Amino acid sequence: MNLLVLCSDTFRVDHLSCYRDDSPVRTPNLDRLSDEGVRFDSAFGEGTPTLPARRVLYTGRPIFPFLWAPQKWDRVNLAGWHPLFYEDVTLAEWLVERGYTTGLISDLPHQFKPGKNFHRGFHQFNWERGQEMDYLVAGPRDEVPIEKFEPTGKANALLTQFLMNSRDWKDETDWCSVRVLRKGRDFLKQNSGQQPFMLWLECFFPHEPWFAPKDLVEKHYEGDGHDGVEWIFPPGTTDEMSENQVHRVRAHYRGLCELIDRWFGKLMEVAENQDLLKNTIVVFLSDHGTMMGEQGQLHKGPDRLRWQCTQVPMLIRHPDVTTFGGRVVPQYVQHQDLMPTLLSLMDQEVPDRCTGTDLSAMMRGEAFEDKEFVITAFGNYASVRSRKWNYQTPWVQNNWEEMPENRRKLSSPQLYDLEADPDELSDVVADHPEIAADYHQKLMAHIENNRTLTRGSLEVGDSAFHEVPLFDQSQL
């Protein structure tokens, strides 16, 4: 059984028409995947954002509570933001030792920064350059048209670098994520005779900067007029933005979602033409979502652990469409469940270090009791979500009230009543202190129970050669 996975960064679950009838974006190709496969309606991240989520996805193992291990030459200093542990067993490594040809094609710059090791176990790995803060070119900085993309005129390093990287983009085939999917089509053609294979595609879009091809922006723009500014990396709140500027940001984001769906469809055409769908599992998912104006907020954030940022789409198409096609799984599932589920569906053994839940029986329609709650963490914050409540708090100290003053910049706990307020727009923590206290205890118990399970080594000892995976030993 082959495996084809597409992880599209920052893809909100309500921007797929298979999830929401009122989705602002029509996604016919992903809808078809849902119709022929299994749709998970309550999938949530565990460790977020980008790199922590990949650590969970690639290993099938939870990572919260996080280790804080900042690295040189990485501007991101978040708890959990570091390479794979030496002890980790990745899906790619596991499948290589079982005769698979493996490929990673990605435009996700963070996983290729110096010192990162997310390409472990892949026979082929390609980095499509140019996203965000990828140091593709060094200049000329003085020719960057900041005034068109930043109304305040204040350049920031991320925006400047991206504008230099993308200055020669002419049509949608130049967009980095489109190049990923085009190269994915090539992989399918080149390796259809080298089965079994596993191809993992990482598309950084629709992550910021929200910069979509012009025709797609115009298609999705709902404003009354355009001031000529493309605020592709807007501020974190809409406080100082006009209504039309917010509409323009949404148009870029929606255009990128449509772009991913369009080229995913072209990828699936190749898979079908190569007669691969009869023996290939196809997966689409995301790492997290983002705010699009709710509570006056844009972007994700560690203290924004509401459904818009934490719920993710997850679709799995098995070749046995008769058994799996059109099923919906309503129970809570998380990123760590993907690897053991896929290995089970591929009739492969699951490594001991992979501790997620096998969802394959659930996908066949067998009854499973829902979890009481799921926990999602981002930096110094975590949320405990049940069907009734979503509680969010800094987790780095048990009692926020007793935090030192220099840590009080962390925002206070929040609580949302999901029955009365399903969109999580009104914080009611002041009205329900007993609920907040109860959920805080659940979080602290989880941290205590899992602290030793989420640690590992970032360096290799002199006597550890016998633990090096066989694939890497063969290279040595």
Quick one: 321 and 383 in the same domain? no
Confidence of residue 408 (pLDDT cuts 50, 70, 90): low
Residue 398 has pLDDT above 70, yes or no: no
**What would the DSSP string read from start to end of 117-149?**
-TTTT-SEEEE---STT--S----GGG--HHHH
Confidence of residue 475 (pLDDT cuts 50, 70, 90): very low
What's the pLDDT score for residue 409? Answer: 76
CATH number assigned to the domain comprising residue 390: 3.30.1120.10
Indicate whether 246 belongs to any domain.
yes
Residue 474 has pLDDT above 70, yes or no: no
Indicate whether 250 belongs to any domain.
yes
pLDDT tens string 279-307: 999 999 999 999 999 999 999 999 999 99
Quick one: 257 and 401 in the same domain? no
Confidence of residue 396 (pLDDT cuts 50, 70, 90): confident
Residue 403 has pLDDT above 90, yes or no: no
Quick one: 68 and 103 in the same domain? yes
The count of other CB atoms within 10 Å of the CB of residue 118 is 24
Residue 402 has pLDDT above 80, yes or no: no
Q: Which two tokens stand for residue 298?
A: 């844009």
Confidence of residue 469 (pLDDT cuts 50, 70, 90): low
**End position of a domain, from candidates 341, 363, 385:** 363
pLDDT tens string 202-228: 999 999 999 999 999 999 999 999 999
Confidence of residue 410 (pLDDT cuts 50, 70, 90): confident
Quick one: 344 and 391 in the same domain? no
Average pLDDT estimate for 223-235? 93
Let me know the angle formed at the C-alpha of 128 by 123 and 130, rounded to the nearest 5 degrees: 150
Residue 466 has pLDDT above 80, yes or no: no
Average pLDDT estimate for 241-247? 96
- Alpha-carbon span 338 to 355, nearest angstrom: 10
| Neighbouring C-alpha atoms within 13 Å toward the C-beta of 414 | 19
Domain span at residue 247 reads 2-138+164-363
Quick one: 133 and 213 in the same domain? yes
- pTM above threshold 0.85: yes
Indicate whether 447 belongs to any domain.
yes
- Alpha-carbon span 443 to 15, nearest angstrom: 30
Quick one: 353 and 401 in the same domain? no
Domain count, the chain: 2
pLDDT tens string 99-152: 999 999 999 999 999 999 999 999 999 999 999 999 999 999 999 999 899 988
User: Which residue in 177, 166, 174 sits closest to 267, CA to CA?
Assistant: 177
Average pLDDT across the chain, whole number = 94
Indicate whether 309 belongs to any domain.
yes
Whole-number Cα distances in Å, 27 to 214, 369, 386: 19, 31, 29
Residue 419 has pLDDT above 80, yes or no: yes
Indicate whether 24 belongs to any domain.
yes
CATH number assigned to the domain comprising residue 281: 3.40.720.10
- Alpha-carbon span 428 to 329, nearest angstrom: 30
Average pLDDT estimate for 394-400? 70
pLDDT tens string 77-102: 899 999 999 999 999 999 999 999 99
Indicate whether 71 belongs to any domain.
yes
Sheet holding 280-285, edge to edge: 124-127, 101-106, 197-203, 2-8, 280-285, 314-317, 38-44, 327-334
Quick one: 394 and 252 in the same domain? no
Quick one: 355 and 386 in the same domain? no
Quick one: 298 and 408 in the same domain? no
**What would the DSSP string read from start to end of 214-246?**
HHHHHHH---S---S---SS--SBSTTS-HHHH
Q: Which two tokens stand for residue 414?
A: 């929040």
Comparing 459 with 32, the larger pLDDT belongs to 32
Quick one: 340 and 406 in the same domain? no
Indicate whether 256 belongs to any domain.
yes
Asked if 48 and 287 touch (Cβ cutoff 8 Å), the reply is: yes
Asked if 40 and 329 touch (Cβ cutoff 8 Å), the reply is: yes
Indicate whether 150 belongs to any domain.
no
Average pLDDT estimate for 462-469? 50
Residue 473 has pLDDT above 50, yes or no: no
**End position of a domain, from candidates 330, 363, 396:** 363
**End position of a domain, from candidates 312, 328, 363:** 363
Quick one: 355 and 378 in the same domain? no
Quick one: 347 and 397 in the same domain? no
